[in-house]
Structure 1
Amino acid sequence: MNVIDLFAGAGGLSEGFRKAGFNILSHVEMDQSASLTLKTREAFYFLKEKDKLHIYEDYLLKKISRDELYSHIPKDILNRVINAEITDETIGGIFKSVDKSIGNQKISVIIGGPPCQAYSLAGRARDPERMLNDPRNYLYKQYIKFLSKYSPEIFVFENVMGILTAQSGEIFQNIKKEMNEAGYEIDYKVLNSKDFGVCQSRKRVILIGWKKELTFSYPNFENIQVAKKTIRNLFEDLPILKAGEAINERDGYTKRSTKYLVADSIRETDWNVLIQHIARPNRELDLNIYRYAVEKWDTEGRKIKYDELPKTWQTQKNTQSFLDRFKVIPYDDVSHTVVAHIAKDGHYYIHPSKEQNRSISVREAARIQSFPDNYYFEDSRTAAYKQIGNAVPPLMAYHLAKNILDKI
């Protein structure tokens, strides 16, 4: 079943759908760094199929350049990634590029979710106009244009919980109405990634639409059986890292892959190249706060409040609100939601080890989101964090895709 991935980001949705057996023919993404990540992932799958993963590993280990890596990949594979913003002015050209990628093949499924900043509660809180005039409120209309042109049997539309209440619920009512007018029955639920085996509590609205003539109904995801996992399970083969340090090398792990990591496709048994285990440098003040936060979590089982810190550590004037600025990721539970703000600082994602005393690395963040260890995020450390924070967890996407396929 052929798929178009819209607003694709770093490719979390398409990674899960691909694992479930779907054929991803085209990705559309406006961010250049994320688009390069998608191309590099296409390169990975092509080289894996040709039994030439040593070329990909050489790239990861910086033995060859990105251009050299891409020189081994047919242009039509790389051209599946369309780096463009979807607007009224660009959509015609994007359709032409997608048409080249799919040729005469029928599109069965469209997946994706428009950027969520206009719908998010945090975005509305920061904007004096509460995002009322943000054009991103209406990107769903571009999504519907793809439904009208390619007429897939099924589509999956993902977004943040705030989409349900944006503009007093009017936006979501319009989305449902216009999707229905495009020829689709729809249903939606708020789903939590931890219920799909992801080591993270992350609630998202998952709307599924299907052609009115199809005999189909929203899958019962409550029947998914997953083992309980913790951050301790997730991190146990990763080496100790201090703030500002990085490990990107073959045989960088401290032990063989575990049953849990293999079962969830995070680290295959034969994968030994540890990449992007990179921790950002921190000020001594932040490290003092991290140490204090972990100590309070370990001894009292509680998260600290900003106003309880010693006065000399309080550099923010606001001590009345947003007091949960520093959060420890617990060893013996799942993580709280990883969001794109991790690209700006790591205060919300403090590593639970006092010995390491830092915020989580790029690879640790990727694992919390259930990305495989062989998944490479292009460009800078900051760009990688942003891509990870914006992504749909691939393991959640896999279960979505598998259950949709079973029902079809």
Structure 2
Amino acid sequence: MKNPSLQKKLDRLLAGGRPRVLDLFAGCGGISLGFEAAGFEIHGAVEFDPDAARSHGLNFHGNDPAHCSAIDITQTSPAALCARLGLGRVEDAFDVVVGGPPCQAFARVGRSKLREIEEHPEAFIHDPRAQLYKKYLEYVDAFQPLAVMMENVPDILNHGGQNIAEETCEVLAAKGYVCGYTLLNAAFYGVPQMRERMFLLAYRREITDHVTFPDPTHWLVLPPGYEGSRAVALKTLNNLFGEAHCYIEPPPASRDLPPAVTAEDALGDLAPIYARDLLARGELKKGARRFDTPVKYSRKKPSVFATQMRTWPGHEAPGDGVRDHVIRYLPRDYELFSRLNAGDQYPQAYAHAVAMFQERLKAERTQGNKISEGSVRYKALWDSIVPPYDATKFPNKWRKMWRDQPARTLMAHLGKDGYSHIHYDSQQARTISVREAARLQSFPDGFQFSGTMNPAFKQIGNAVPPLLARALGNAMLATLRSGIAASKAKQKEAKPRLAAAV
């Protein structure tokens, strides 16, 4: 092997060392948690959001201040990062780089522009949209990892009229990597959530000559919206860009596999929160909520998934109960939530609300209260019951979960309202708690989130589900070990030939 840095890393792994990971755009650590569980060492991370950075440092580095501070990748060189974290020589610091630049960085940056960024380090000054991508490549260049994993939304296959995943593979191939990308849905990997994302894997050619993705562990029939989105993405892939050389079909799921983990499997053992009762007793109030109050589990027997979340090695649930099982203050809507049927979205919610208003208006008039249409009292009553959004413009703003299906995709928008995930239990009549959102993403109960409720929801919605990350980590570790074994065999073969030559 001509590259001494790569050989040094291979030798370290041959000696039994764990692959050391750098997590870029790490968030609170969904990828890190999965890779840690797969057998990797989380050696460092770069995250710009202060709350997410504190969460990452808290969970993976014992609250070490050096690892808990926000880092701006556009202002921090690889050398500065190594100095800050005390990691020594840049080229020796990491074996694997994971993460993915935010998709905005790729907007309308064409194939020629990507190459320009590579060849001219200052080119990004003329196109700020490319800055994060340029920094990602700069880190890969500097750290010379044995493997790379990138994640992004499916639209990256047609972002601004380009297949960014294919273009990224071209750039990495020029650096000496074998690359492949695909679309994976988290529900096929034991996550109680139907979340579709693009994943790109790359390995040094010294390690392997092909890329494989993990086989599914669970089975379900995806709703039309998910299959339709995937079909559109792949049709675009073929029609708009011609042959996608690095695209790999997702491994198929078999009907013989266990059924997908449902929302009830994920949440059923957590203590119920009856929002209307809390509101009536004055125990639910407006304002920021923190997570230091332990809440004991319900007496319901935990599912296999729930047991996994309680007992995740290194992130086990506290003995006195879970933290952050707190909900939003939404007094206008609790009664409305109780009336929704599973799967109802905003148009159905609006219709229920109008019916509730008519009931209340009739009751008021029956009691002798004269409330004329268009009056101040009429409007006040309407506003106290009916949400203000146009039912024809916000069809997906609300959704009540099905108890017997995985949840729909959690988004960072959870940090603003949470109406996209209304609890399936009509008696509880509320949106999901922070801990329930974490469960739906497959974060274990011992994982801690920094900040108050809104930042925690945002961190969870932005994360890669740890169980899916673990599946990818397992696949990557198997490939690395196979490459290491092949390297070891070649070394053994070389010794007799060398001795014979002497």
- What range is the shorter-chain TM-score in? 0.7 to 0.9
Q: How does 1:64-103 map to 2 (within 5 A)?
A: 70=63, 77-81=64-68, 83-87=70-74, 89-91=75-77, 94-97=80-83, 100-101=86-87
Secondary structure in structure 2 of the residue aligned to 1:305? helix
Residue of structure 1 equivalent to 2:336:
289
- Using the alignment, how far apart are the partners of 1:240 and 1:262 within structure 2? 15
The one-character-per-residue Cα deviations of 1:154-210 (angstroms, maximum 9, x if unpaired) are 010011112111110154443232222222221000000111100000000000011
Counterpart amino acid of residue 208 in structure 1: L
Q: Which amino acid aligns with 2:157?
A: L
Q: Counterpart in 1 of 2:157?
A: 164
Q: Which amino acid aligns with 2:408?
A: H
Displacement after TM superposition at 1:5 (Å): 0.7
Structure-to-structure mapping, 1:45-64, within 5 angstroms:
46=62
Taking structure 2 as the reference length, what is the TM-score of the superposition?
Answer: 0.65
In the alignment, what sits opposite 1:124? none
Q: Which residue does the alignment assign to 1:252?
A: 296
Corresponding residue of 1:407: 479
Alignment of 1:112-151 (within 5 A): 112-116=99-103, 135-136=128-129, 138-151=131-144
TM-score (norm 1): 0.79
Deviations 1:122-170 (A, max 9, x none): xxxxxxxxxxx99455522211111100101101001111211111015
Check whether the contact 2:165–2:181 (CA below 8 A) recurs between aligned residues: no
CA distance in 1, matches of 2:50, 2:444: 21
- The 1:310–1:360 alpha-carbon spacing in structure 2 relative to 1, beyond 3 Å, is closer
Change in Cα spacing, 1:36 to 1:90, as seen in structure 2 (3 Å) is same
1:402 shift after superposition = 0.7
Once the two structures are superposed, the pairs formed by residues 271-290 of structure 1 within 5 Å of their partners are 271-272=318-319, 273-284=321-332, 286-290=333-337
Q: What is the CA–CA distance in structure 2 between the aligned matches of 1:17 and 1:195, rounded to whole Å? A: 18
Whether the 8 Å CA contact 1:26–1:81 is kept in 2: the answer is no
Q: Does the aligned pair in 2 maintain the 1:28–1:81 contact within 8 Å?
A: no
Task: Indicate the SS of the match to 2:162.
Answer: helix
> 1:78 Cα deviation (Å)?
4.2
Contact 2:176-2:205 within 8 A present in 1 as well: yes
Query: What does 1:116-265 correspond to in 2, within 5 Å?
Result: 116=103, 135-136=128-129, 138-169=131-162, 171-222=164-215, 224=217, 227-228=258-259, 229-243=261-275, 244=284, 249-250=293-294, 252-255=296-299, 258=302, 260-261=304-305, 264-265=308-309
Indicate the residue corresponding to 1:308 in structure 2: 351
Aligned residues: 358
Equivalent of residue 322 in structure 1, options 394, 397, 422: 394
Higher mean Cα deviation, 163-172 or 97-106?
97-106
Distance 2:168 2:467 in 1: 27
Deviation at 1:221? 1.9
Deviation readout 1:216-273 (Å, 9 max, x if unpaired)? 4222423546633211111122111134488854561123873513663444587433
- Cα 1:363–1:309 shift into 2, 3 Å: same
The answer on whether the counterparts of 1:2 and 1:107 sit within 8 Å (CA) in structure 2 is yes
1:41 and 1:102, CA in 2 relative to 1: closer, same or farther beyond 3 A? farther
User: 438, 463, 488: which is aligned to 1:366?
Assistant: 438
CA gap 1:239/1:136 in 2 versus in 1, 3 angstroms? farther
RMSD: 2.9
Candidates 456, 469, 476, aligned match of 1:397: 469
**Are 1:111 and 2:142 matched, yes or no?**
no
Change (3 A) 1:217 1:98: farther
Q: What residue is the counterpart of 2:454 in the other structure?
A: 382
Unaligned runs of 5+ in 2: 1-18, 108-125, 219-256, 276-283, 355-381, 481-502
Whether the 8 Å CA contact 2:58–2:68 is kept in 1: the answer is no
Cα displacement (A) at 1:342: 0.6
In the alignment, the residues of structure 2 paired with residue 137 and residue 260 of structure 1 have an alpha-carbon distance, to the nearest angstrom, of: 44
Q: Which structure 1 residue ranges, 5 or more long, are not aligned?
A: 47-69, 71-76, 121-132
CA contact (8 A) 1:240 1:356 kept: yes
Give secondary structure in 2 for the equivalent of 1:233. helix
**How far, CA to CA, are the matches of 1:119 and 1:29 in structure 2?**
19
Contact kept, 8 Å, 2:28 with 2:449, in 1: the verdict is yes
What is the letter of the counterpart of residue 76 of structure 2? T
